[in-house]
Chains A and B, each alone.
Chain A
């Protein structure tokens, strides 16, 4: 049974059919891509999967159980984490605090312990700090530990968002255009980072991206969306040859 299974997903916004009959599976450890021209509905898929939107038709199943209708925070607790197209960090909070919030659901002690500063509380706070530092180390963010997240440069901000998402210990990580606005060097670093994530954390990775070179070189499988419809699914090589994909991106040749 696939870890994430989407069947016949569809949603309308007013008169616009943003997504229709979308199907998808993802297993642990896979790295899959979702591409398509702007406005194709890619982020909409992510938003439905993470509970921000409710679909009009179709189902999303995590480890066999339907998660449609659940609130976003519940879905995260069940194991799906994401980053956002426009970075959504907790800007006024420090880098460290951003990660620590990611640990919010794995707190063993309760409010009484918190108010009394019980031994359990102190121990867990220390433990979380250590874990946060370890995570930030893997993402090379240790030099800006106490700085407000919004003072970070763009690249580090994106890394922080990924680290924060991983702090929630997900089974599946959705990355929404992680390479947006990056220069070639940063993109190479990103590819290495994603490779590191695959190695260190056993998560299924699902990627929305516009950078074809990146997608083709790291994704095992790619789904192509255009105007809400799936026009191709396959390996990078297959997708590159697919005439419908080419047409969606470049348009069809003009009559001579």
Chain B
């Protein structure tokens, strides 16, 4: 009757592993042969995907409207950038250090996620949005003030420069793949369904045995972790870090991706991340009016199709399910 054939886990996992290996080869090819401009664009899209999907977990899926996601990114970026600049690895050590940094940056950001998620448990809607906005801005202000920690240079308002540029296609898209697979597998499962329940009705969720505190904090922690990973990737892409670049506007850019793609839709976030990274490039011709158009697009999108491209559906859902939702 309902039978949805599930592919055995080990089969999908093997396929994913094969995909990772494929990414490595593709990465090598791109690094050598692809026009640097396009490669750079692809890397930015990859980072955007991680940011959008991780924010979607918090905002769209768990319904905790967070306006400070760039703050988590900043934590990861700075932890990664500062340590990397200090360590300055070479040769064979580079991949190991890079992997370690991504994890480290992610964990640091996840800690920040706890710091934001726990105190804000009681807040809803607008109030939560503003509190997360405040946290994001505090992180920016603090980063502006810190010149150095011990022998580690941080940079303060002048920013951190000359970070080794060690990221590439493989690392970026590995990060994106891990992020998407983790979030998707997490929420579309028995253990993850409560995330949606928290969004729909917290009181009912609690009455059905869901530990809403755990799930709200977990959303922040996982979301922040990947934002931190994205931060490390970003720092090692541009080689520079400026505290001002991680403020409210950056957070809004990420929110726009989630909203455009459809709050609650992981595939929507991926699509929107790509579109909204490419859009400023396409609009480059309009120069000084670019951001005005950007803002107008946001307003028009909210007026005409606030549910975004995919609403809260995923591209991979069966036709029958999609039809049901249309009704």
Q: Are A and B co-members of a single complex? A: yes
Which residues of A pack against B, CB within 8 Å? 50, 52, 71-73, 76-77, 81-82, 84, 88-94, 96-97, 100-105, 107, 109-111, 114-119, 121-122, 124-126, 128-129, 133, 142, 144-148, 151, 164-165, 167-168
Mark out the residues of chain B between 8 and 35 whose CB falls within 8 Å of any chain A CB in the assembled complex.
8-10, 12-13
Contact A88 B190 (CB under 8 A): no
Mark out the residues of chain B between 53 and 101 whose CB falls within 8 Å of any chain A CB in the assembled complex.
none
User: Which residues does chain A contribute within 8 Å of B8, judged by CB atoms?
Assistant: 119, 122
Q: A93-B197, A102-B208, A125-B190 are contacts. A116–B9 as well, Cβ < 8 Å? A: yes
Nearest Cβ in chain A — how far from B123, in angstroms?
18
Contact A147 B196 (CB under 8 A): no
Task: Select from chain B the residue with minimum beta-carbon distance to A88.
Answer: B204
Contact A117 B207 (CB under 8 A): no
Q: A81-B208, A110-B191, A114-B192 are contacts. A145–B200 as well, Cβ < 8 Å? A: no
User: Which residues does chain A contribute within 8 Å of B205, judged by CB atoms?
Assistant: 73, 90, 101
Contact B206 A146 (CB under 8 A): no
Considering the complex of A and B, which 8 residue pairs feature the smallest CB-CB distances, nearest first? A117-B9, A90-B200, A88-B204, A76-B209, A72-B206, A105-B209, A146-B324, A73-B206
Q: A73-B210, A81-B208, A103-B190 are contacts. A52–B203 as well, Cβ < 8 Å? A: yes
Q: A114-B185, A121-B9, A125-B6 are contacts. A93–B190 as well, Cβ < 8 Å? A: no
Contact A124 B190 (CB under 8 A): yes
Task: Select from chain A the residue with minimum beta-carbon distance to B189.
Answer: A114
Q: A88-B201, A90-B197, A91-B200 are contacts. A164–B190 as well, Cβ < 8 Å? A: no
Interface residue tally on B, bucketed by range: 35 or more
Contact partner of B193 (CB less than 8 A), chosen from A92, A101, A148, is: A101
B320 within 8 A of A: yes
Given contacts A72-B203, A90-B201, A97-B193, 6 further A-B contacts (CB under 8 A): A72-B207, A88-B201, A104-B209, A107-B190, A117-B13, A147-B327
The interface centre, meaning the residue of B10, B185, B208, B312 with most chain A CB atoms within 10 A of its CB, is B208
B212 within 8 A of A: yes
Task: Select from chain A the residue with minimum beta-carbon distance to B193.
Answer: A101
Bound-state CA distance A151–B325 (Å) is 9
Nearest Cβ in chain B — how far from A139, in angstroms?
16
Contact A117 B186 (CB under 8 A): no
Contact partner of A122 (CB less than 8 A), chosen from B9, B312, B327, is: B9
Contact B2 A104 (CB under 8 A): no
B211 within 8 A of A: yes
Contact A76 B208 (CB under 8 A): yes
User: Which residues does chain A contribute within 8 Å of B324, judged by CB atoms?
Assistant: 94, 144, 146-148
Bound-state CA distance A133–B209 (Å) is 20
Bound-state CA distance A129–B324 (Å) is 18
User: Which residues does chain A contribute within 8 Å of B327, judged by CB atoms?
Assistant: 147, 151
Nearest Cβ in chain A — how far from B161, in angstroms?
37
User: Which residues does chain B contribute within 8 Å of A94, judged by CB atoms?
Assistant: 321, 324
User: Which residues does chain A contribute within 8 Å of B6, judged by CB atoms?
Assistant: 122, 125-126
User: Which residues does chain A contribute within 8 Å of B186, judged by CB atoms?
Assistant: 111, 114-115
Bound-state CA distance A124–B193 (Å) is 14
Contact A104 B13 (CB under 8 A): no
Task: Select from chain B the residue with minimum beta-carbon distance to A111.
Answer: B191
Task: Select from chain A the residue with minimum beta-carbon distance to B320.
Answer: A146
Contact A165 B321 (CB under 8 A): no
B302 within 8 A of A: no
Nearest Cβ in chain B — how far from A23, in angstroms?
24
User: Which residues does chain B contribute within 8 Å of A147, judged by CB atoms?
Assistant: 324-325, 327
Contact B190 A89 (CB under 8 A): no
B194 within 8 A of A: yes
Bound-state CA distance A50–B209 (Å) is 11
Contact A145 B2 (CB under 8 A): yes
User: Which residues does chain A contribute within 8 Å of B199, judged by CB atoms?
Assistant: 92
Q: A50-B207, A116-B9, A119-B9 are contacts. A146–B321 as well, Cβ < 8 Å? A: yes
B182 within 8 A of A: yes
8 A–B pairs (Cβ distance < 8 Å), ordered by A: A52-B203, A73-B207, A76-B206, A76-B209, A115-B186, A118-B9, A122-B6, A122-B9
Task: Select from chain A the residue with minimum beta-carbon distance to B4.
Answer: A129
Task: Select from chain B the residue with minimum beta-carbon distance to A115.
Answer: B185
User: Which residues does chain A contribute within 8 Å of B264, judged by CB atoms?
Assistant: 92
User: Which residues does chain B contribute within 8 Å of A89, judged by CB atoms?
Assistant: 200-201, 204
Contact A129 B2 (CB under 8 A): yes
Task: Select from chain A the residue with minimum beta-carbon distance to B317.
Answer: A146
